[in-house]
């Protein structure tokens, strides 16, 4: 799977660890930055991540910041992207199964490395259930439906 990953300065270490883990799992990973712990604005990286998921360059996205909150908000500004802020595997799985989330967000200051990997595994392994959930997901991108 083609996966894009981006963070702010607070999540550099977790981003690097998840990037390497994803590569070990056989995924193609595009690291959208940043590369250092110099202070950056999370919306810049959230918008960049959303753009590559929306245009199909990446099939899924991983957004990271200190809490996961700010970057998830910026990713969700793109109507073609559904980014779920998660902190444990069940919510990651349900985000895919019920909401067809194509991005996952986590907080590096709140979620440890092993838990982040478990969330990411659940997110990547779960398929969208479709059915009754599809019309709801359609409304996320088009509120007039």
Contact 64/5 with Cβ under 8 angstroms?
A: yes
Q: Which of 9, 27, 98, 133 is catalytic?
A: 98
Whether residue 35 contacts residue 62, with contact meaning beta carbons closer than 8 Å, is answered with: no
Whether 133 is catalytic is no
What is the token pair recorded at 98? 């019920």
Within 10 angstroms of residue 89's Cβ, the number of other Cβ atoms is 18
pLDDT at 112 over 90: yes
Q: In which residue are the tokens 């996966």 written?
A: 3
Which of 65, 83, 103, 119 is an active site residue?
A: 65
Cis peptide before 24 (omega within 30 of 0): no
The Cα angle at residue 136 between residues 1 and 4, in degrees rounded to 5: 20
- Cβ atoms within 10 Å of 131's Cβ, excluding its own: 7
Q: How confident is the model at residue 129 (pLDDT cuts 50, 70, 90)?
A: confident
* Ramachandran area for residue 131 (φ above 0: left; ψ -120 to 50: alpha; else beta): left
Sign of CA dihedral 86, 53, 5, 64: negative
Q: Give CATH for domain 2-141.
A: 3.40.1400.10
pLDDT in tens, 40-91: 999 999 999 999 999 999 999 999 999 999 999 999 999 999 999 999 999 9
Burial 30-61 (b: 16+ CB within 10 A, else e): ebbbbeeeeebebbbbbbbbbbbbbeeebebb
The answer to whether the predicted template modeling score (pTM) of the entire model surpasses 0.85 is: yes
Task: Reply yes or no on whether 98 is catalytic.
Answer: yes
What confidence tier does 142 reach under pLDDT thresholds 50, 70, 90? confident
Nearest CA-CA partner of 59 in 69, 71, 49, 73: 49
For the chain, the structural domain boundaries read 2-141
């Amino acid at each position: 799977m083609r996966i894009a990953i981006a963070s702010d300065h607070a999540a550099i270490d977790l981003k690097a660890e998840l990037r390497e883990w994803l590569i070990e799992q056989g995924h193609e990973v595009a690291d959208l930055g940043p590369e250092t712990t110099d202070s950056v604005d999370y919306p810049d990286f959230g918008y960049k991540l959303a753009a590559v998921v929306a245009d199909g360059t990446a099939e899924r996205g991983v957004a990271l910041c200190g809490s996961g909150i700010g970057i998830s908000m910026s990713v969700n500004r793109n109507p073609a992207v559904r980014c779920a802020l998660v902190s444990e595997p069940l919510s990651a799985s349900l985000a895919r199964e019920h909401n067809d989330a194509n991005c996952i967000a986590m907080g590096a200051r709140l979620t440890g490395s092993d838990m982040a990997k478990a969330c990411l595994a659940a997110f990547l392994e779960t398929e969208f259930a479709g059915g009754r959930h599809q019309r709801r997901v359609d409304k996320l991108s088009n509120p007039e439906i």
